[in-house]
Structure 1
């Protein structure tokens, strides 16, 4: 008998990836949770076979109703949509929404597996030197789940996502740009050229693969952290791959956090803080000893994942035009 998974953010990258992976697996019914079932994204997901249900993640009672009867649940929240409030307030708002979802999930008697898209705690891991609002607040929800919702915690797979390689095609703060008259392209970021980034590769493919693997191996994944990562590369290596794929001569330019914030405002500041913290601890696999669940543990085969180069290759037509 088919089980049902509800996916928060089913019209977005992460939730959509999980929804599609479960639909393609054939043994899951998918319930997409969205604020507007008439939106283009919701209609597209419905056409693929998902049941689309209306619920606002700020509405606890609506979530409980939307989760009724589900066996698994994927949760993702969005810090960046709240950034106009300021980074700290945006982080608090996201954490409030994430815990609201978790609390509603804890009231779902049929729930067997909860997957929460979260992040490491930058302040804790940098000894207080590198706080990052969107990382710290989201990580704080992990702690609250463990402390206040212990039954749910035992059913939870905490999923970390590294840097989105698709940002080089779609996110202005991260995209390389053409230098007029020279024929060269520049990638200007607030970090050292040799600093390493944990990269999750193709979100649309890899989040779905990891989530489905966790659902298929619950005894290995529940109560654990999984790190969705295909690469750990330096900024100079990343732009080298971008140059190879795009066919354009490109250079990396390191700028100060202050300059980046002047250029891009709060989003620039938040990225600069994330990069600065990453310079202190670039390997997330070492951060929760004894609590990590590896791709091998989940029986994920290398060919199931799409790395940075593969993702950029698939997006080649978008790299220069946006």
Structure 2
């Protein structure tokens, strides 16, 4: 990128070296926004890769208000994401509220907050309830906002890759139970679309998914892509809770009894490149078969 490029505005991206933030930064750069990528470690590989794409790095910590002020001052937009699994319930809420406060103080014209689908439905799932608290606070402040509500991440199955390649996909959900999923890269795509089209996106909350498949269908997709038979094994709830804890168990019990609300056909009309689960597996290197 050179100074001759006509940029559309400066967007500050929190979590820029993580999954959602990184995807958002990349899609914004493709759309010729200036990206100010917040990171605690300017030397990590993910940060350097963003620089190579044209991003500006800024040292900032979600627990250091002064560093956040320096990062956000003068920005047109802010992408806000926090990591519950690293900081916990109260801390996630505090970080989300702090970014919202600073967006208000500096007159940011568009705040995009990435939440979770169905967080408003009183699920009792701690890492969904925390995001609902942040959502409500953003609205209370009267900020110009868009809230993206992703469903389950397709990317997370990589943690089970060795088990799946060994021929077993184990989950506690009923075999015919469907699960809406989204590729993290597509979250970034929708964030960039929203920043690029504020008139259509300000004041909206929208659930994001690119696929809605049952456990049996997901298992069949694994089998097709890796080229070997995979069996679905329904894990007993007590064994799942023993391994993954109360929060994850509460969430999966909710999945087993409730449907997510993402309108995949509508989302695909906005973003025709929306990723299906099988496409995600192929693109993610689960198979040597080319798409």
TM-score with structure 1 setting the length = 0.81
Match of 1:118 among 104, 115, 124: 115
**Mapped contact 1:32–1:52 kept (Cα < 8 A):** yes
Q: How does 1:119-138 map to 2 (within 5 A)?
A: 119-120=116-117, 122=119, 125=121, 130-138=123-131
Answer yes or no: is 1:54 the counterpart of 2:35. Answer: no
Query: Any idea what SS the aligned residue of 2:114 has?
Result: strand
Q: Which has the larger displacement, 230-239 or 272-281?
A: 272-281
**Aligned-pair Cα RMSD in Å:** 2.2
Answer yes or no: is 1:190 the counterpart of 2:172. Answer: yes
| Corresponding position of 2:208 | 228
Structure 1 gaps, min length 5 = 83-89, 287-293
Partners of 1:199 and 1:218 in 2: how far apart?
25
Following TM superposition, by how much is the alpha carbon of 1:317 offset from its aligned partner in structure 2, in angstroms? 4.1
**CA 1:134/1:5 → structure 2, altered by over 3 Å: closer, same or farther?**
same
Following TM superposition, by how much is the alpha carbon of 1:232 offset from its aligned partner in structure 2, in angstroms? 1.3
- Deviation digits for residues 232-268 of structure 1, max 9, x if unmatched? 1111111111111111211111123321122x243xx
Query: Any idea what SS the aligned residue of 1:9 has?
Result: coil
| Corresponding position of 1:87 | none
Residues paired across the two proteins, number: 280
Partners of 2:199 and 2:116 in 1: how far apart?
22
**CA 1:295/1:116 → structure 2, altered by over 3 Å: closer, same or farther?**
same
| Corresponding position of 2:274 | 305
Runs of 4+ in 1 over 4 A off after TM superposition: none
Query: Any idea what SS the aligned residue of 1:160 has?
Result: strand
**CA 1:226/1:244 → structure 2, altered by over 3 Å: closer, same or farther?**
same
**Mapped contact 1:176–1:187 kept (Cα < 8 A):** no
Partners of 2:99 and 2:193 in 1: how far apart?
22
Match of 2:154 among 155, 165, 168: 165
Partners of 1:274 and 1:254 in 2: how far apart?
16
| Corresponding position of 1:272 | 249
Q: How does 1:1-322 map to 2 (within 5 A)?
A: 1-2=6-7, 3-26=9-32, 28-82=33-87, 90-109=88-107, 111-120=108-117, 122=119, 125=121, 130-147=123-140, 149-150=141-142, 152=143, 155-169=144-158, 171-172=159-160, 175=161, 177=163, 185-200=167-182, 202-204=183-185, 206-262=186-242, 264-266=243-245, 269-285=246-262, 294-295=266-267, 300-302=270-272, 304-317=273-286
**Mapped contact 2:169–2:230 kept (Cα < 8 A):** yes
**Mapped contact 1:64–1:107 kept (Cα < 8 A):** no
**CA 1:301/1:42 → structure 2, altered by over 3 Å: closer, same or farther?**
closer
Query: Any idea what SS the aligned residue of 2:62 has?
Result: coil
**Mapped contact 2:118–2:261 kept (Cα < 8 A):** no
**CA 1:281/1:105 → structure 2, altered by over 3 Å: closer, same or farther?**
same
Structure 2 gaps, min length 5 = 1-5
